[in-house]
């Protein structure tokens, strides 16, 4: 049996979190030899996020420093020792936890080190991605593909699967506080020559809660990280274990 740890960063997601947790296909995963543990990383939510997650019996970690970046980095640092595969998944129920098995297969078959769930190469439902965000996502993906020579097809996605050694590398090397996290993960993983590929996923409309993304301000921060990491170099003394 291989152990999967699913990290779900949340800030005021009382309307989405239950469905995200309920949708995790434990039976199907077990049939394929995986056991999944879920960790919700809460960031000072002032709604019923924690109560709802707790009622589903998952582990909850509290991160005081606000921001998705802080939450995910804390998640990476809190992984159980026996974890083999790490999944990150947003808590707003815009990504489908039931599509998880597809995220894992390329890791299991040693096709790559990291899997990105691609919305741009998958299904973008209804009004889930406003035009400006869609343009932004295509733009960021294009500049990463050209400058970092990787084949990723959706840099700003909220659905990732990593081999544990990559998650350990990220735990030590990430600095993003907020929404530049995904850009920082992809650019640094590309700099480390980890093999990153995408599988198509569904992106559905956020139905109840508010988006925390501020397209212009966060867009600038994402671009800054892209530029900064062009000069980022891995620590030579670190031995990189790849697939």
Ligand X SMILES: Nc1nc2c(ncn2[C@@H]2O[C@H](COP(=O)(O)OP(=O)(O)OP(=O)(O)O)[C@@H](O)[C@H]2O)c(=O)[nH]1
Stretch near ligand X under the rule CB under 6 A, chosen from 9-17, 76-84, 144-152, 168-176? 9-17
Shortest Cβ distance from residue 113 to Mg ion (Å)? 25
Give 47 or 84: the residue with its C-beta nearer to ligand X.
47
User: How far apart, in whole angstroms, are the C-alpha atoms of residue 12 and residue 81?
Assistant: 29
The DSSP result for 169-210, as a single string, is: HHHHH----STTHHHHHHHHHHHTT--EEEEEEEE----SSP
Residue 78 binds to ligand X (criterion: CB under 6 A): no
Does residue 7 contact residue 100 with C-beta atoms inside 8 Å?
no
Identify the helix (H) or strand (E) that includes residue 60: strand 59-62
- Contact window for Mg ion (CB under 5 A) among 71-79, 85-93, 191-199, 234-242: 85-93
Query: Is 94 an interacting residue with respect to Mg ion (CB under 5 A)?
Result: yes
> Please, what is the minimum distance in Å from the beta carbon of residue 157 to Mg ion?
10
Residue 229 binds ligand X, judged by CB under 6 A: no
Of ligand X, Mg ion, none, which one sits near residue 41, judging by CB under 5 to 8 A according to partner kind?
ligand X
Q: 115 with 198: CB under 8 angstroms?
A: yes
Is residue 182 a contact point for ligand X (CB under 6 A)? Answer: no
The nearest distance, CB 95 to Mg ion, in angstroms, is 8
Minimal distance, residue 220 CB to ligand X, in Å = 15
Residues forming a β-bridge with 242: none
User: Under the criterion CB under 6 A, does residue 158 sit at the interface with ligand X?
Assistant: yes
| Vertex 222 angle, CA 153 and 142, to 5° | 30
CA distance 238 to 52: 41
Position among 5, 94, 153, 173 found at the interface with ligand X (CB under 6 A): 94
Q: Does 92 bind Mg ion (CB under 5 A)?
A: yes
Query: Which pairs with CB-CB distance under 8 Å and at least 24 residues apart come from 49-52?
Result: 49/10, 49/11, 49/12, 49/13, 49/14, 49/17, 49/91, 51/14, 52/14, 52/17, 52/18
Question: Of 212, 223, 228, 243, which one interacts with ligand X (CB under 6 A)?
Answer: 212
**From the CB of residue 51, how many other CB atoms can be counted at a distance below 10 Å?**
12
Answer yes or no whether residue 213 interacts with ligand X by CB under 6 A: yes
Instruction: Give the interface with ligand X as residue ranges (CB under 6 A).
Output: 9-11, 13, 41, 43, 66-68, 71, 90-92, 94, 158, 206, 211-213
Contact positions toward Mg ion, by CB under 5 A?
90, 92, 94
């Amino acid at each position: 049996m291989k152990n999967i740890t699913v990290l779900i960063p949340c800030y005021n997601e009382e309307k989405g979190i239950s469905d995200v947790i309920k949708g995790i296909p434990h039976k199907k995963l077990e049939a394929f030899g995986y056991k999944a543990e879920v960790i919700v990383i809460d960031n000072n939510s002032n709604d019923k996020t924690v109560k709802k997650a707790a009622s589903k019996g998952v582990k909850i970690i509290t991160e005081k420093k606000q921001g998705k970046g802080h939450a995910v980095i804390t998640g990476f640092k809190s992984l159980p020792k026996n974890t083999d595969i790490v999944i990150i998944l947003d808590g707003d129920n815009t990504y489908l936890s039931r599509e998880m098995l597809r995220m894992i297969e390329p890791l299991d078959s040693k096709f790559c080190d990291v899997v990105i769930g691609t919305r741009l190469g998958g299904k973008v439902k209804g009004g889930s991605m406003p035009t400006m965000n869609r343009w932004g996502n295509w733009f960021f993906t294009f500049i990463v593909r050209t400058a970092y020579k990787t084949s990723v097809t959706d840099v700003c996605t909220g659905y990732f699967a990593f081999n544990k050694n990559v998650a350990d590398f990220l735990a030590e090397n990430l600095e993003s506080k907020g929404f530049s996290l995904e850009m920082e993960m992809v650019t640094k993983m590309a700099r480390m020559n980890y093999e990153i590929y995408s599988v198509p996923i569904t992106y559905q409309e956020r139905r109840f809660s508010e988006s925390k993304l501020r397209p212009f301000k966060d867009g600038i921060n994402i671009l800054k990280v892209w530029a900064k990491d062009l000069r980022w170099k891995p620590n030579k003394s670190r031995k990189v274990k790849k697939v």
